[in-house]
Structure 1
């Protein structure tokens, strides 16, 4: 049994509303239900969502501050003022800066740009940058994707005689800076109807305010990149921006975008929001994480194809370096966490800090630890000389990390961000108090349920419903991203018809699932190790996305596995493994993430004469079969261990009697997984289910060779040479003959009884016993996994 890693839940759509919408729009019930569960219950709402329209676009002058900003920029243009675009180093900040460059080029402005270095300067406006701007003759600064929290810096700029127009989308603080104009849809009282714009979205609105209908449509390509990369909700106006941007990008004339698509392995004609998120955005971000974001800005704004190709290749190399750096820090952070919390009890908010943790990637590290431990995580890099810490936070639903940071604002030099992600800086002397204050806040907000990850599904369906036509129809819901994820479906009771691994190092998993005659391929990236847990015939529940697999002109539906569950107890066939103990430990670690909310415990059972095997079974409860037909724990600690609650039993040796097997089932009545790790006896050494012919043949042989007393060992050797039966089998058959008075045994010698009384073989207790033990051995040694599973199930039911 494998428990799913997440709790699956799917909304229940009103069937009458679904049916009505399907009729009105002539769409399938599946698509109709997806629209309804996403809030589109009327034909007009559904059509606007699927096809877009002017209703998703809003007047830029509805943004508070826009009416003041536009005349100030026009004045700067008329009077030849030097303008500075002050940006940020992430993909949204890079996109915002690039879009503003295109606007100022279009307006023939005199301008320069400034993006702070992530590691050396950190986020936001800095006074030394303002001093530099003054030296360059700057009299107007336009911030993009930053500035809303820069109260003191903007006050300083005012003393220098520099006007600042802030365009930002981050959460505004209580005390707003006294800038010339503040443009942010989240400012209290701002009448702009859509609050979810990215920083580049706000920059685009400024461009539209300046140019009106002359705003180039191609600029939506830049806006789409930043919107998707910054994980903004793809609903409302963001959906319109990204949809238009993708449409333009498929025929992009920007050398930088074309080169970036090419180096990311993305086909221009089919580029999607998912491609931006996982292909383009990481490479843009790599520039600001490991180098300076200016390189990415140059890529997006260059007019030279050769330069674009060179810059795109450099970003690709940086991204590969970034991946290696992330892997190292994740390993170090994990070790630090587990060393400080050996008991396994984790804080509500994980706060980890160390020197040498590249501040450019700590946000990614936080995300990876959040995924592993499912709780808010803050990762900070400590400057070895100054002791200053710069870090990033990632949070789970249920805890607004920006609010959490606000509750201990006095401990930090600076912070800012969103409910799900934030950045901060503080001195290392404040780290202990910082972590304590955050966890005190979390204790008042979070409950145990918040730490159980949930996965939202769109519907529970059959495999037959997930057709190629359905996959094509889902495209009407694109672009997919935050607040409009790619639909996920729950399929229950599918049977695995094929299991195999694929990719370099067998890293990925491919299954063929069957349900009611329908077959569907399912792919799980990075889950190749699960192949051993999912043999053919396993009944499986899956949470998956529906995609189209295109190869050599052929198109077919394919599932992308997100999570899985095996609702029935499982039997893992690892019989004859060369390193049985190593396999047991490996299996234990593989199953642990799929153990559900209960603690995971594993036990190993072996024959009493093989106690040396226990040294290789660290962390497992150890048991031996005993001579009385039962099993018993080894050591005082094992006797104290609960018999219930064992999730995995590893049979290092097979039981020698059915009673031992029954005792095992009686002792571990709730076990959900059994691994067969016993050795396989050679055919010559196995028992055979006894037949009358076996005994008839043996009787004749004994009559000829044991008319007078003969050593039993000699008899067995001669009999084994004459038949295909093992010495073990022949010895047990002699037990039957002795019990029936067909032979006599005396001091290791055998003599044949020439005229015994007629007796039935079935009257022999040894005959019945031999049949039972031989049957069990045959199942454990020779049968298929399904045959052994069914037989063990019948024994288990009998034992219970």
Structure 2
């Protein structure tokens, strides 16, 4: 049984509305159902959602501060003032800065740009940068994607005689800066109807106010920043991004074209998903490991040669970033285990010396995905003791609000309900962690720690033909608040399974349902290959897509989650280092096996694994016992109910069928059994005894042991003449001795000429041999399917 990582919640379909939309808009039932699930209830809403254009965007002058900002910028243009565009180092900041460069070029302005270095300077306005700007003759500063919290810095700019226009979209603090103009739709006093713009979206509204109708290609830059900053692709954002993606398919920007090409994306087929997973990480890599200015140059250069060089540089930086992230994630996971074990707090706060502050946000996301609770990751400068970090949160906790509750502990913080950044000194880390925990404990409840995946639809594979999935693209662009539709298929059967990609990191399946077959990919889940043998019946949740290869278009499912409802036996007989394998599986498969230490049991032969108590000390350890069948071998096993066991690891086979039955009875409800016992040499194989075999042995013994003969010599002769194993012959002699057909004494055996006639099954040894041979036949020599069926039948027999 494999548990799903998420709790699946299927949206209740509005069948009446879906049928009406399908008829009125000529849509397939599947697409119409998905449209209704997105809140489309009328023909007008449907046309706006599917075919909305720039006419649906709002008047930029509805935004507070715009009527002050535009005349000030126009005055600066007339007077040839030197303008500074002050941006940020993430993809939204890079896009915002790049868009403003396009605007400045369009307006013929005298301008400079400044983006702080993530590691050396950190987020936001800095006084030393304002000093530099003042020396350059700047009299007007326009911030993009930053500035709403820069109270002291803008006051300093005012002292220097520079006006500051802030364009931002982050959560405004209680005290706002005294800027010449503040443009942020999230300000409480701002009447702008759409609050979900990215920083680049706000910058675009300023451009609209200044030039009327900006060139359509500027929307390509808007799309990049909006998608990368995980802004909701609804309302105005949906229109802006959709138009931007359409323009991007014919882009004239050399940087965008080269970046798509180096990412392996066909320019003419680019989607919002490609921007999110191919372009955005490479743009962000510039600011994470180097300086974001390189990405700005890429997006604004008109030179193909320069664009190619920069695109390859960003691609290389992204590869380096991936390695840095992987290293820190492993260190963070080890830290979690050492600090808390399996008793995790409401908020995970981790800090490490030398951790690259450019990637701590990504690390936080990965740690959150592993443990599903809010995470704060901080990098510590070992020389200054200053910490810079990023937080990622779950829906139950507004992380910005949580940070605001302990703002006195930090030097600076800012962000959104789901993601934020902060800086503080290492001396205050304990105080910071305690304050965050206290706030989170008052907000979060147990149900908040269950990851939920909202599925849009449950249907059969026959319902999702290629034309249906092609029509599904009308619902794009897909991203935040308008996710790629997730569909559940139940009772699909695995036809083929294999690992693909570097080091077998990914999983490829061929699945079938009622005669329909499709390929399925599960990225990052190659480790599940051995747990999904052909024939496994499971439920899957995923996203449908079209795979294009050599002119052929085929459906494929991108799996997000899966579950197997039936009990399973996993055949890993002969695993060379079983204790290490158990630790690895528990780490890799925890979400699917729910194998916390106190719910994981190990059964083994006494003294067979001397190191087990030091390596698996926190698990329930059991040993075989001649009298009781199995016995607890540590305190954890004694204290935890066997009924709660979720996974059983069998390290050794029992000595008898009675011990096997005792084990199966004790763990008759366990969902998953891992068979890890060593295999045995075929020459030591036991056969289920037959009367013909014993009759033959009896005749042979009569001919060689009429006078005492060494037992070792007798066994050797019998082995040559029967091909039975030494073990089998030794146990046969036990039967003959018990029935008084032979006598044994000090290593010698003697045949009894006229023994009392007794049936073979009157011998306890004969019955034990039969049961033991049958057990070993299945445990040691049967194929995986036969072993599984036999283990399941034994469980039923003893339950």
- Given that 1:708 and 1:752 are in contact with CA atoms closer than 8 Å, whether structure 2 keeps it comes out as no
1:45 aligns with 2:49: no
Q: Can you list the C-alpha shifts for 1:519-568, whole angstroms capped at 9, x where unaligned?
A: 22222222222222222222222222222222222221112222222222
Aligned alpha-carbon RMSD (Å): 2.6
**Quick one: structure 1 residues 722 and 91, their matched pair in 2 at CA, closer, same or farther if it must change by over 3 Å?**
same
State the partner residue of 2:543: 545
Q: What's 1:283 paired with?
A: 282
Q: Report the count of equivalent residues.
A: 796
User: TM-score with structure 2 length normalisation?
Assistant: 0.93
Residue of structure 1 in register with 2:293 after alignment? 294
C-alpha deviation, 1:21, in angstroms: 2.0
Separation of aligned partners in 2, 1:711 and 1:531: 53
Moved more, 627-636 or 503-512: 627-636
Deviation at 1:615, TM superposition (A): 6.3
User: How far apart are the structure 2 equivalents of 1:622 and 1:438?
Assistant: 37
SS in 2 for 1:558: strand
Distance 1:118 1:104 in 2: 25
Whole-Å Cα distance in 2 between the matches of residues 385 and 582 of structure 1?
A: 38
Q: Is the 8 A contact 2:221 2:244 kept in 1?
A: yes
For residue 259 of structure 2, give the secondary structure of its aligned residue in structure 1.
helix
User: Hey, what does 2:248 align to over in structure 1?
Assistant: 249
Q: Indicate the residue corresponding to 1:500 in structure 2.
A: 498
Q: Secondary structure at the match of 1:193?
A: coil
For residue 445 of structure 1, give the secondary structure of its aligned residue in structure 2. coil
Q: Distance in 1 between matches of 2:731 and 2:742?
A: 14
Classify 1:794/1:119 alpha carbon distance in 2 versus 1 (closer, same or farther; 3 Å): closer
The residue aligned with 1:122 is 122
How far, CA to CA, are the matches of 1:391 and 1:338 in structure 2? 20
Residue 389 (structure 2) aligns with? 391
Distance 1:648 1:30 in 2: 39
Return 5+ residue gaps in structure 1 as ranges. none
Superposed, 1:445-594 pairs within 5 Å as 445-594=443-592
1:404 correspondence with 2:402: yes
Cα deviation for residue 755 of structure 1 reads 8.6
TM-aligned CA deviation for residue 222 of structure 1: 0.8
By how many angstroms is 1:450 displaced?
A: 1.3
Give 1:432's aligned residue: 430
Distance 1:630 1:331 in 2: 41
1:14-25, aligned counterparts within 5 Å?
14-25=14-25
Residue in 2 that maps onto 1:313: 312
The separation in 2 between residues aligned to 1:737 and 1:21, in whole angstroms, is 83
Deviations 1:311-336 (A, max 9, x none): 22222222223223323333444444
1:143 is matched with which residue?
Answer: 143
CA distance in structure 2 between the aligned counterparts of 1:636 and 1:347, rounded to whole angstroms:
25
Q: CA deviation at 1:734?
A: 4.8
Q: Is the contact made by 1:629 and 1:659 (CA closer than 8 Å) also made in structure 2?
A: no
> For the residues of structure 1 that align with 2:270 and 2:636, how far apart are their CA atoms?
59
- Tell me the equivalent position of 1:650: 649
Supply the distance in 2 between the matched residues of 1:168 and 1:546 (Cα, whole angstroms).
36
- How far, CA to CA, are the matches of 2:678 and 2:345 in structure 1? 44
Shift of 1:221: 0.7
CA 656–411 in structure 1, closer or farther in 2 if over 3 Å, else same: closer
Q: Deviations over 1:405-425 (max 9, x none)?
A: 222223333222111111222
C-alpha separation between the residues in 1 aligned to 2:611 and 2:337? 28
Q: Which stretch of structure 1 is more off in the superposition, 21-30 or 297-306?
A: 21-30
Q: 1:114 to 1:609 in 2, by over 3 A?
A: closer
1:169-197 Cα offsets, whole Å, 9 max, x none, are: 11122222232222221122322221111
Q: Distance in 2 between matches of 1:682 and 1:18?
A: 64
Kept in 2, the 8 Å contact 1:243–1:479? The answer is: yes
1:188-203 alignment runs, 5 A limit = 188-203=188-203
Partner in structure 2 of residue 374 of structure 1: 372
Partner of 1:231: 230
SS at 1:562 equivalent: strand
Q: 2: distance between equivalents of 1:355 and 1:585?
A: 27
- Contact 1:4/1:596 (<8 A) preserved: no
Q: Please give the alpha-carbon distance, in whole angstroms, between the structure 1 residues aligned to 2:437 and 2:742.
A: 80
Note the C-alpha offset of 1:31. Answer: 1.4
Partners of 1:3 and 1:566 within 8 A in 2 = yes
**Whole-Å separation in 2 of the counterparts to 1:89 and 1:5:** 34
- 1:571 to 1:613, Cα distance in 2 relative to 1, 3 A: farther
Check whether the contact 1:119–1:359 (CA below 8 A) recurs between aligned residues.
yes
Structure 1 stretch 768-777 or stretch 196-205: which is displaced more? 768-777
Q: Which segments of 5 or more consecutive residues in structure 2 lack a partner in the other structure?
A: none
